[in-house]
Structure 1
């Protein structure tokens, strides 16, 4: 076991660090099911330990060293430096938008090895998909707390704490996923502008992609195409095939929504390794352009695939809807179709970003019109005011 030497910190941050160590001592003691008297025996009084654990005492380095050693929590110069350098790299990658490199940097790293040094908070936040225990917030600096707020889904507060390209990007993405496209556009444009000043090309690309997506869901094709043109240039320079594929997929999907079925068919039919949802869109293009046999063969191919875009059972429902329409030209007179359609639409609204529901909205309105449910159609249109039909 290494020595538990307390690192000399700059005065700014000392309080947070001591508060953090008190919390860690408290949590580790509880994990081991130790009493306060058992832990502090021969080191300090119970009342003093209680103050350390609650962040109300400014303990000596010697007392902290002995408590950490007894709990087998390592904190020495080498570990401190190693963790600090790793955290510094992590923050730089995060703010540059190099998220894949960040995941690679922290992949299989034993973050718990750094539990008794300040950078543990940084590394845990940077590698986590969930927020940390709220009790740790008293130990966080502004940057850490901003990332905690993002993990909590409180992006507006993150922007208020730390207004930079990354926080504005997360706010814009959250607004986009919630269907708040006007506010999403504002936040994403701010993210792009800030990123361009800092040379954060990856954030510039992500901002333009989501700007294009937002305009796509509003069926504002001129603005969608303008945003995607910039995104495409950035993606080509970065050789980002994922982004290029997303631009093509979303553009072709927008063509379906605006009745440009042949244009959409041309794009989707040329994909060499289509995803399940690409095949779903291709089947719709075939349905709309009278290619019945190709629609059925495309659906059969898609039904044998896996997907990470959504729950597979929901994907199968969406494929079943297309198959039902292709196999039953009188689908609008069949209650089974309406039941499947409305169930699928409800799941889309509940489980996925609003763009998925917006794409399927015309079929729901078609059903309501065919079954003379005009009030429901009007109510639905009020819920999607930016949808152009």
Structure 2
């Protein structure tokens, strides 16, 4: 009985130890044959601040030290000439990055059990995408041979398979319910359309895994997406405008307001701005407002984009990037994104773009 107690205790400690980190930190040693110059290690500090550390390389070797509270993803970025970067997981352990400068796509990361799991997913995704490309190439070949009908059928199959990549990632989570690597995949899987399913998958996760900070981000995201479903009331927030003046979303109560999440670096956002400008000009006198929330992290590009795109409505930002307070509250993980809020404070629609937005506004104001 005593031995059984010891074994159970060890298993519990091992389970917790897989996610909880010791204070000694991590040491990443790079040994990349033929590598010169420097590399950049990009990571988050305290889950908020985006840090990019430049590391000098000597004879293909470099060392980078740090500490994480729990396993975290990091990106190693090589020189602009190499045009290559790799995402991997770090834990407070000794890790090795091994490879050759002329074959960076084969770079190995050793020493992290979480990274070992993630490497399995990477291999699955690589194989999956190869099959998708085979179908697209086959469609081109058939089309070039003159059979446009068959080519269209193959193209449709390829498109469907391309959109199905998320199913591979979901299955990875279901197959790795004890792995920290599953948390980011589940976070990315959560959407306003699959909240019940996402919650059910989360409930299956290993108990110690559910106690991590990353797990809390998932539960918060699910809760925020539930709260911001169409038909629910808006979630109020206060954020500074370009002049540092605080603006409340609730100040628009009694009016129609499009809560528009965007960023200066977002191409699709900037491409939509002319249409937003046109709709604002068309309906602002009838009670249509836009409140722009930027996910920029620096003021200068944000303000320049507003000026260049000639956006006359109110703009706010806390300059925290993806950790923008309002973006987190509204479950925004991609931009552009928006929420159309009615005079009664209820969310009428979400993610309206181009003609779908125009049609909705015409329905309201005509």
**Greater relative CO, 1 or 2 (CA 8 Å, sep 6+):** 2
TM-score (norm 1): 0.33
TM-score (norm 2): 0.35
Q: Larger strand proportion, structure 1 or 2?
A: 2
Larger Rg: 1
